[in-house]
Amino acid sequence: MGIAIGNVLLPVVVKEKFPQKFGLMTSVYSTSMGLFASLASGISIPLANDLNLGWQGALIVWGIPAFIAILVWAFVLRLNPVKGERVKKVSISASRIWRSPLAILYNYVLVA
């Protein structure tokens, strides 16, 4: 659940915080995600076997940095609260969507 939400929200946060260096910062965060994912999968087996933690203990070890990250996010959000921006509503008529080439292509890919 965290990966699913983080993969969607993190690019938005990066674009908001670093609008001038969006490409660079996106590559930094995606590289760090891949690096830490490979590090975790490489270290989990030795943690479980050599330290006799089992898979539950190895999972707890990786839960500690996640918990610390939650605390850091909470601290950052408290310092910089989200400003109440008005969201502009966009209305698309139902008949217009069926004439969209992108919608037709998307529908074709899902059906095929």
Q: What is the mean pLDDT of the chain?
A: 77
Using CA atoms, how far residue 55 sits from 3, 67, 91, 98, in Å, is: 20, 18, 49, 50
Q: What percent of the chain has pLDDT over 90?
A: 8
Write down the domain spans for the chain.
2-86
Query: Hey, what are 103's tokens?
Result: 């919608």
Q: b/e for 3-17, b at 16 or more Cβ within 10 A? A: eeeeeeeeeeebeee
pLDDT per residue as tens digits for the range 13-56 = 788 888 888 888 888 888 888 898 898 889 999 989 998 889 89
Query: Hey, what are 91's tokens?
Result: 């209305």
pLDDT per residue as tens digits for the range 63-96 = 898 899 889 888 887 877 666 555 555 555 556 6
Query: Hey, what are 92's tokens?
Result: 């698309």
Closest CA to 62 of 42, 91, 82: 42
